[in-house]
Amino acid sequence: MKIKTPLSTKGSQIVDANGNTILLRGVNWFGMETEVHVPHGLWRRDYKDMLAQIKQFGYNLIRLPYSVNALRSPNINAVDFSIGSNRDFQGKTPLQVMDIIIQEAAKNELLIMLDSHRLNDVTTPELWYGDGFTEADWIDTWKLLAERYKNQTNVIAADLKNEPHGSATWGQGDITTDWRSAAERCGNEILAINPNWLIVVEGVEKNVPNQQLLGHWWGGNLEGVKDFPVRLNVANKVVYSPHEYGEGVFAQAWFNAPDFPQNLYERWHKGFLYIANNEIAPILIGEFGGRKIDTNSKEGIWQRQFINFIQQNNLSFSYWSWNPNSSDTGGILLDDWVNIDIGKQELLGTLLTGQITPVPNPKPTPQAQLAVEILVQADWNNGFCINFRLTNQGTVPTQDWRLNFTLNQAKISQTWNGSYSLQGAIYEVIPANWAKVIQPGKTVEIGYCADKLGDNYKPSDVKAVLV
């Protein structure tokens, strides 16, 4: 479905100009907030090719970070002008580069959310001012962008400030630290020029009256919205945007809690999901990501659980990151800036299409490829039985494989054709020896019966892994 802009909000939903409920499915393409003043990777790729690839893999949004310093600078670096269409950038300022990126994104039906990521080109400040820049510098940059792109229909949102933290407060009334009131001042200035944009407001880290959780990520604490929502002069424009990461970014205390990973759901509900559940405003996860997607590491378990959580609650998101050169998370692209991390894209594909989307290798080689069908064999008041039907849709036999799935509110009582082991809420199934080799076009079935422990008893996040 083509999204008709401008966008607005309706309760917990983002809606387009036709009133259709939409989900923003995006990636962060960073670099303009760094000393090179352009999105990264242009030393290796044609920017048109890059944007077309983002569209090809099912995304409809780019969160485009910038620094205030970059947009005031005349200089760009780290562009190979000999590659494809990159000559378009020769002699251009960072702001003109942003124009070109946005216009080409529009040709690919990609929406743009601008992100005030830094003031200087190096660090993320605690507050919306500092590092030699004032509040007026920050707001004036937003006013410049609102005016410049008010007729560019694919620019749909302003993410006002990346990751307020440290001394930033919410709802405490101190004009020098209260992020909620600063967001109102800036948001109203933007909407006075361009009333069509969504105003995206991140949380803080701490300093929220009566907060329930002891710790949060930078920008992740939106507990204050309950008592102190952001109030703007134009209705139905506020979207709240937490950031969420796994242990690969920092070993937060909750990753070592005895009830991990079950404790994650309570955190997400208390930290931000209540905003959508109570129809206050939509949630857009502005950043999440990590290198590991396996079922054993804490980061892998976290990332799988969070993707499932996004899907179950129909949340919008922009993944960190498209770039491979994010040191603690990696990216969707591999280090060559051309090929895709297939496992990561397949996992994200569950959000883009509602099911796992196979991603071909750039140079296909003969391979096995397992598809999984979930069959409910029996379902009664206190229990149920599930059959997993695995079909080799590839061109060569499998050598060995595993099946992973999440089971939240059920206890397995009987299994067949495989050995089941439980880690947190995630099961791994090792097939019986006779079932490890599945010939092309052939099918194997494994399964279990279980007792129901709640309404959410069916398996989810089901994935076959070749080993």
List the catalytic residues: 163, 287
The values of phi and psi at residue 456, to 5°, are -95, 65
The CA distance from 268 to 291, in Å, is: 21
92: tokens are 């251009």
Contact 113, 62 (CB under 8 A): yes
Cα 379 to Cα 197, 385, 390, 406, 457, distances in angstroms: 48, 7, 21, 18, 11
Report the candidate in 41, 13, 27 with the shortest Cα–Cα distance to residue 317.
27
- Residues near 220 by Cβ (< 8 Å), separated by ≥ 6? 202, 203, 205, 242, 243, 244, 271, 272
Residue with tokens 């196979």: 358
List residues bridging with 130 in a β-sheet: 133
The beta strands (E) that lie in 119-259 are given as 155-159, 198-201, 238-240, 243-245
The CA distance from 245 to 94, in Å, is: 30
Sign of the C-alpha dihedral computed for residues 188, 189, 193 and 197 taken in this order: negative
3-state SS class at 295? coil
Count of positions (residues) in the chain: 467
The CA distance from 72 to 327, in Å, is: 27
Report the candidate in 223, 225, 232, 144 with the shortest Cα–Cα distance to residue 195.
232
220-227, Cβ contacts within 8 angstroms, sequence gap of 24 or more:
220/244, 220/271, 220/272, 221/170, 221/271, 222/271, 222/272, 222/275, 223/170, 223/270, 223/271, 224/170, 224/171, 224/180, 225/275, 225/280, 225/281, 226/274, 226/275, 226/280, 227/171
